[in-house]
Amino acid sequence: MSLSLFLVQLVNGVEYGLLLFLVASGLTLVFGVLGVLNFAHGSFYMLGAYLAWWVSARSGSLLLGIAIGLPAMVLIGLLVERLAIARLYSRDHLSQVLLTYGLVLLFNELQSVLFGNDVHGVDTPEALSWAVRLGEQTWPAWRAFTSLACICIAVAMRQIVLGTRFGMRVRAGASNPEMVEALGIDVRRLFATLFSAGTALAGLAGMLAAPLTTVYPGMGESVLILSFVVVVIGGIGSIKGAFFGALLVGLADTFGKVLLPGFASAMVYAVMAAVLLWRPRGLLGAAAEGR
């Protein structure tokens, strides 16, 4: 492998990992704080991509699609939380699995009725359709933009979680939800905010990925499973863990495809099994399992 090819794989792996982080960070918080195992999280990724495609195909601007899509995703998150998820906080994980599985089927049908079952390409914005040169290889500017956006969001998330009162409640919720409630904090509002933030992040990941992967039915599913892998590798409820887990999975997947083409897809799962056999609660998971 030449140096430039190695470099391109490296930046591609990091970029893929950062996108996975956007999806997985919401998933890990919703599970860690709300205690809900949300299988519909991948559907939000898919919905985000379809919204971006739909708006950009009509207006010619992907950035407008993102500008309209993001608030729409926040709204969808609030609605789903209020109408469905909020009814299940006191029930066991399996009821939640069943409900969110039902939601996945529902969103898939919704997508097929509203947007059809064709595969759609999405154009990158004019200003970002050039490429960075890396030796004899090139790297699309949209990927660079995506990585940069994800890094900004990760840094902002860190500031919010570590530096604000809201973030303090989130951290408290992740380590002991019952105690947070007992201290008189409005848990319902905290939960709704977190859930819709997670929804918006997953949607945003879908919008950013749309020009790279095209938009197609079932696109949320593989991302969902990989995000679960990321969450578990990192340790449930840990944003930092999700960040490193996502980079690990992104790099393992990208390099696996180049170095071990026949074994690439199994690679990610082998990494996960190895991590869990070594540390049964993930890299940065809490010492005691509360749930």
Binding residues vs another protein (CB under 8 A) = 31, 37, 84, 87-88, 91, 93-95, 97-99, 101-103, 105-106, 108-109, 112-113, 221, 225, 228-229, 232, 236, 262-263, 265-266, 269-270, 272-273, 276-277, 280-282, 285, 289, 291
How many residues appear in the chain? 291
* Tokens of residue 92, six digits: 């066991």
- Considering beta carbons, is residue 128 or 276 the nearer one to another protein? 276
Judged by beta carbon, residue 184 or residue 280, the one nearer another protein is 280
Kindly tell me the number of DSSP H helices and DSSP E strands found in the chain. Answer: 11, 2
Which amino acid would we find at residue 139?
A: W
Instruction: Select 138 or 265, whichever has its Cβ closest to another protein.
Output: 265
> Whose Cβ is closer to another protein: residue 15's or residue 81's?
81
Instruction: Give the integer Cα–Cα distance in Å for 255 and 183.
Output: 47
Give dist(CA 228, CA 247) in Å, integer: 14
Minimum gap (Å) between residue 195 Cβ and another protein: 17
Residue for token pair 């863990």? 241
Name, in order, each residue with C-beta under 8 angstroms of 77's C-beta and a sequence gap of 6 or more: 44, 195, 196, 197, 198, 199, 200
Of 69 and 237, nearer to another protein (C-beta) is 237
Torsion angle (degrees, nearest 10) of CA 122, 123, 129, 133: 30
Residue 73 or 80 having the CB closest to another protein: 80
In the complex with another protein, which residue's Cβ is closer, 62 or 284? 284
- The count of other CB atoms within 10 Å of the CB of residue 130 is 13
Residue 223's SS3 state is helix
| Backbone angles phi and psi of 134, in degrees to 5 | -125, 90
For residue 291, count other CB atoms closer than 10 A to its CB: 11
- The span from the CA of 152 to the CA of 144, in Å, is 12
To another protein, the closest distance from the beta carbon of 88 in angstroms equals: 7
**CB-CB contact of 208 with 16 (8 Å):** no
Token pair recorded at residue 62: 């992907």
Rounded to the nearest whole angstrom, what is the least distance from the CB of residue 271 to another protein in the complex? Answer: 9
Nearest approach in angstroms of CB 91 to another protein is 7
CA 191-194-200 angle, to 5 degrees, is 140
Of 11 and 46, CB closest to another protein: 46
Q: Shortest approach of another protein to residue 230 CB, angstroms?
A: 11
Residue 41 CB, shortest distance to another protein, in Å, is 14
Minimum separation from the CB atom of position 220 to another protein (A) = 13
- Residue 72 Cβ vs another protein, minimum distance, rounded to whole Å: 21
